Chains A and B, each alone.
Chain A
Amino acid sequence: MAFVTLNNLVKVYPEKSGPGIRAVNGIDLEIKEREFMVLVGPSGCGKSTTLRMIAGLEDISGGAITIAGEVVNHVQPKDRDIAMVFQNYALYPHMSVYENMAFGLKLRKYPKTEIDARVREAATMLGLTDYLDRKPKALSGGQRQRVAVGRAIVRKPKVFLFDEPLSNLDAKMRVSTRAEISKLHARLDATMIYVTHDQVEAMTMGDRICVMKDGNIMQVAEPLELYNHPASMFVAGFMGSPPMNFFKGRITRSPHGLVFVEDNSKAAPFQLLLGGPLAEKAAAYADRAVVCGVRPEDAQDTATVANPGTGHTIDAVVEISEPMGPETFLHLHTGAHAFTARVRASNPFAINQKVEITFLMDRVRLFDPDTEKAL
């Protein structure tokens, strides 16, 4: 059952002249109870604005937000039974850790013993017991972040909102805190909505991911579904690092079946023989332009592939190679297209060396070049 529902939600920032800037463009989204939903997208895509509208910190220009069956458009933030963890933590600098966590309960006139019990419970859960008397200034970044989470926990809200809570931590802290929050979600069994621009956070934490761009939702799906079956070139390019490689080309018929032929005027264009479901999708596009997407890990050095087969190997030239240890990022080009391959490292590659690359055809995706949607 949907717990938080966004219905044709619109946010317009007024301009001096003109119709105003549409930061959120009529989006629909259903978030289930106890779900960990991640809103992800590049900066300016409207994800934070959406979160802030759910929180009640921004006016809603159009549409409706429902929480637990009740339309909350005109409900004050404090009455929505939600808690938020801010990007910069927003800890009250003049209050101790204890006071920071107790503040919301104090304002709601909870009895002292209840407040104390809840704060201590949250502090134990987050490992903050020894720091309760400290001021935020005396804490490390990771500790501050936990206090911010603790402040949300003690309220026992229906919905937790996170606004890029890890972006101010260093890389190491980010990885460990990511896991902490995931554990917390499992433990609290609460609905959480999490905004980030980092696709790794989205992939690792979300039950489902909502990818946004320019105020629109591009795709909502479970992480692996999103990764394996991106609905559009944008989603395919946004999720994954290094991003998916795109090759412009067209579908042509050949005696063996449908073939993707690269647009290449500088060298011999490579050809990919399409089979299985890919061929079914490509059938409608015969003799038309398409874009072929291949993830770097699905492009392998033919020398390391057990059964290379035929019809899906291409020749490329090494521009640069970045050995990572277990694997090597090869920056290659075919003459017309530059692309990246994430190959199992066997031997070093030299610049301008010619390599034969095999594409794992069941993982290759085709897109319509005009709509940028997946076929």
Chain B
Amino acid sequence: MSPVRSIDGSRQRSDWPSHLIIWGFLLIELFPLYMMFQVSFKDNASFIANPWLPTSPATWNWGNWDFGLRLIGPYIANTVFVATTGTIGTIGFAICGAYFFARCKLPFSDALWAAFLLLMLLPGVTNIVPLFTQLKDLNLLNTLWALVIVGIASAQVFNIFVLRHFIEDLPKDLFEAAEMDGAGHLQRIWHIVIPLSAPIIGTLFILAFLAKWNEILLPLIVLRDKELFTLGVGLFYLDGEYTKQWGQVMAAYSISAIPLIIVFLFAMRFFVKGLSSGAVKG
């Protein structure tokens, strides 16, 4: 009998058919990424003549990227602001809220929790129409802060839900030891909750950032001035233009991915670890 056994207990056999299938799927998954990148260096003529293969780097048309950057650079700046502030606010408030529900058994906390849970049943779709008039009344229409605030509010329930269960599963002893060591609640959050739930916080951070980065409905409704457009609105109007230089459009798309690449570079380890450990259940 062969000494090496695979996880499913069968004797070591070659895995190559599985690898082949997985790579097949992955290549199709990565195909849009590839197309986006290689078309971004072509003009329309060379794209139509040769849609599939990349041109040699020597003939790359960096003008597309220059154009794309000038076109959506400001949108990206706006989106970075909205997504970063929104994500930090979302996770920060959610950690505090989850700590409250997980560790402080105070009067009314159960009732409050029930009110939070009820919201999970309430689809966001119903809200958008009244939200529009509410933001108008608050003079928040056509501001980026509207996106930040609504973004934070709508993400609270999910994040608190996940974090609460995670914090509850941390050993109670640690919090008591910290209490004896003289740590206040904020210090307990800072020294215990955050370091010990880093993978889950990293995962939630990325998920929240992605959600805000990809938000389009609310910005579409809220924003009027071109200077305030976020990526979603920018791409929406870019898509609506009648004649398109595909190379320029693809360059703009490629640029739209750069901030996410940066975020993933920092948090990829946490993300894969957090999701793989089964931490996100709800």
List the interface of chain A (C-beta within 8 A of B): 55-57, 77-78, 82-84, 86-94, 103-104, 107-108, 151
Question: Known: A84-B177, A88-B171. Is A78-B192 also a contact (CB below 8 A)?
Answer: no
Whether, in the assembled complex, B5 has its beta carbon less than 8 Å from a beta carbon of chain A, the answer is no
Alpha-carbon separation in the docked complex, A56 to B176 (Å): 10
Interface residues on B, range: 10 to 19
A103-B181 contact in complex given A87-B173, A88-B171, A92-B174, C-beta closer than 8 Å = yes
Looking at A56, A82, A94, the one whose CB has the most chain B CB atoms below 10 A away is: A94
Cβ of B182 to closest chain A Cβ, rounded Å? 4
The binding surface of chain B is classed by DSSP as helix
Which residue from chain B places its CB closest to the CB of A108 in the assembled complex? B182
Q: Report which residue of B174, B178, B180, B195 has the largest number of chain A beta carbons within 10 angstroms of its beta carbon.
A: B180
From A84, A91, A92, A93, contact of B180 by CB (8 A): A84
A126 to B177, CA, bound (A): 20
Q: Which residue of B lies closest to A94 (CB)?
A: B195
Q: Pick the contact of A77 from B171, B173, B174, B179 — CB < 8 Å?
A: B179
Q: List 25 A-B contacts (CB under 8 A).
A: A55-B176, A57-B180, A77-B179, A77-B180, A78-B180, A78-B181, A78-B182, A78-B183, A83-B180, A84-B180, A86-B176, A90-B173, A90-B177, A91-B177, A92-B174, A92-B178, A92-B191, A92-B195, A103-B178, A103-B181, A103-B183, A104-B181, A104-B182, A107-B183, A151-B181
Interface centre among B181, B191, B192 (most CB of A within 10 A): B181
Kindly provide the distance from the CB of A92 to the nearest chain B CB, expressed in whole angstroms: 6
Provide the main secondary structure of the chain A interface: loop
A339 to chain B, nearest CB (A): 42
CA distance A219 to B179 in the complex (A): 32
Q: Are A86 and B173 in contact (CB under 8 A)?
A: yes
Task: For B182, list chain A residues within 8 Å (CB).
Answer: 78, 104, 107-108
Within 8 A of A (CB), among B138-196: 171, 173-174, 176-183, 187, 191-192, 195-196
With A78-B181, A84-B180, A104-B180 as contacts: A92 and B192 at CB distance below 8 Å? yes
